[in-house]
């Protein structure tokens, strides 16, 4: 009997955050600066796994990620993460509304 794989990534895997839409939705210069600052691509390494319960009591899987630009690890849902080697393909396939 086979078991379902619990996590998509193992400890030590190099990962990237999935690409975000880079649509320019800001009109004011102050808003534009905030959007540009928060739309950078992040790279990191998986350092651990975590499980939390949501308010319905279901288990949600998280990854502990050490981002290259930060000193301490952060928790992220594994569906927002992709392997570095798939990043170029995902970025190419993302569509921006209105283009």
Which of these, 72, 74, 78, lies nearest to 18 by C-alpha position? 78
Q: How is the beta sheet containing 14-17 ordered, strand by strand?
A: 74-77, 59-67, 43-53, 14-17, 81-83
Residue 23: per-residue pLDDT? 57
Residue 92: per-residue pLDDT? 79
- Residue, of 87 and 25, whose pLDDT is higher: 87
65-81 confidence digits (pLDDT tens): 999 999 999 999 888 89
Task: Determine the Cα–Cα distance for residues 66 and 43; give it in Å rounded to an integer.
Answer: 9
Could you tell me the residue ranges of all domains in the chain?
14-93
> What's 23-84 look like in SS3?
CCCCCCHHHHHHHHHCCCCCEEEEEEEEEEECCCCCEEEEEEEEECCCCCCEEEEHHHEEEH
Tell the CATH topology of 14-93.
SH3 type barrels. (2.30.30)
pTM exceeds 0.85 for this model: no
3-55 confidence digits (pLDDT tens): 666 668 889 999 998 887 655 565 677 777 777 776 778 899 999 999 889 89
């Amino acid at each position: 009997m086979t078991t379902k794989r619990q996590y998509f990534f193992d400890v030590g895997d190099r990962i990237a955050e999935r690409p975000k839409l880079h649509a320019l939705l800001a009109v004011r210069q102050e808003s534009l600066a905030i959007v540009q600052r928060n739309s950078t691509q992040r790279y990191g390494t998986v350092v651990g796994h975590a499980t939390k319960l949501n308010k319905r009591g279901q288990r949600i899987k998280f990854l502990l990620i050490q981002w290259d630009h930060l000193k301490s690890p952060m928790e992220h849902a594994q569906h927002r993460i992709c392997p570095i080697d798939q990043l170029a393909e995902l970025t190419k396939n993302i569509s921006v509304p209105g283009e």
